Structure 1
Amino acid sequence: MPDIKDVLAKAKPREHTVRICLAGDVAAEVDRLEAELASVSNWQAESLVDKNPGIEIAERIKEARERMQAAEVEFTFKALGAKAWSDLVAQHPGKKDEEAWDVETLAPALVAASAVDPAMTQAEVDELFDALNFGQRQQLIDAAWQVNGEATSIPFSLHASAILASRTDGK
């Protein structure tokens, strides 16, 4: 049987990281370029010197996607301890008797309380949420809920397994 001191020494709060692209303007540019590329998809050369207009558009899409990737920000969340979770829930009681908490107020507060990199105050979360769309806000909220509410299990990686299974080590 394991000694509880050994178990406690191994116990670390769960962490979870999400990446969010903050360049909404560049995302719109990619959408426009994709539509432009689709409009020339039936292009056919009329002579050997004709150059496919899709090539230049595809290069612009690649460059814009690289800018989008550069505009991604990692947000790391760490699970709250039992007392901190209980205190936070108590600060956001449900509006009806059957509700354990008020989801509308608890969710952004949970983001602020669980965010460790970058750390954020409630005011900063509110300001960030004003700049993000619903899907981006939901990504942050989901990450905060996940790190605090889901059990930690060993994930299966199909991609990593496929790579490792393809290795022959020269045999």
Structure 2
Amino acid sequence: MPNIKDILAKAKPREHTIRLCLAGDVAAEVERLEAELAATQSWVQQSIADAHPGIALAEKIAAARERMQGSEVEFTFRALGAKAWSDLVAQHPSDKEGESWDDESLAPALIAASAINPAMTPDDVGELFEQLNAGQRQQLIDAAWTVNGEATAVPFALHASAILASRTDGK
């Protein structure tokens, strides 16, 4: 029979990490270059010495994508304990009938309370939100909700399983 003290010693709050690309200007550059590349589809070689203009564009796209990847930042969140969650919800009550909390004020506060790397204050979250678009803000909000609201289960990793199966002839 399991001992609760042993179980408690093993228990760790759920963590969840996301990556956000913060180089909005480079993302726009990639989009522009991809549009230019698409416009070269009708290019016809006139001479054996002619190089396809798409080659230079593809190289620029690859370099810009590397810069985008270099601008990605990891945000790691840790689930709040029951009391911290209850206190946070109590600080953001809803004005609407039948709703426990106000989504608009709770979401940034939940990000700040759950963020462990980098740690953030509510003011930091506000400043960050001013630099991000709606989709990026939603990614942060979703990560904070995920770590605090979803149960933790052992995931099935199809790709990893396929790789391992190929090494053992499926056995």
Q: What amino acid is the match of 1:96?
A: K
Paired residues in the alignment total 170
Give the CA deviation at 1:97. 2.3
Counterpart of 2:49 in structure 1 is 49
Give the SS at the match of 2:19.
strand
Give the CA deviation at 1:166. 1.4
Counterpart of 2:138 in structure 1 is 138
Q: TM-score, normalised by structure 2?
A: 0.97
Give the CA deviation at 1:48. 0.9
Q: Which runs of 4+ in 1 moved over 6 A?
A: none
Correspondence 1:24-39 to 2 at 5 A: 24-39=24-39
- In the TM superposition, what whole-angstrom CA distance separates every residue of 1:72-109 from its partner, at most 9, and x where no partner exists? 00000000000000000000001112111000000000
- Tell me, yes or no, if structure 1 residue 103 matches structure 2 residue 103: yes
Give the CA deviation at 1:167. 1.1
Structure 2: distance between partners of 1:42 and 1:156: 44
Structure 2: distance between partners of 1:166 and 1:48: 44
Counterpart of 1:160 in structure 2 is 160
Q: What amino acid is the match of 1:142?
A: D
Give the SS at the match of 1:47.
coil
Give the CA deviation at 1:45. 1.0
Deviation larger for 99-108 or 153-162: 153-162
Structure 2: distance between partners of 1:166 and 1:46: 47
Q: What amino acid is the match of 2:35?
A: A
Structure 2: distance between partners of 1:17 and 1:43: 44
Give % identity: 73
Give the SS at the match of 1:39.
helix
Correspondence 1:1-171 to 2 at 5 A: 1-168=1-168
**Which blocks of at least 5 consecutive residues in structure 2 are unaligned?**
none
Structure 1: distance between partners of 2:4 and 2:135: 42
Give the CA deviation at 1:28. 0.2
**Which blocks of at least 5 consecutive residues in structure 1 are unaligned?**
none
Give the SS at the match of 1:41.
helix
Structure 2: distance between partners of 1:83 and 1:58: 53
Q: What amino acid is the match of 1:55?
A: I
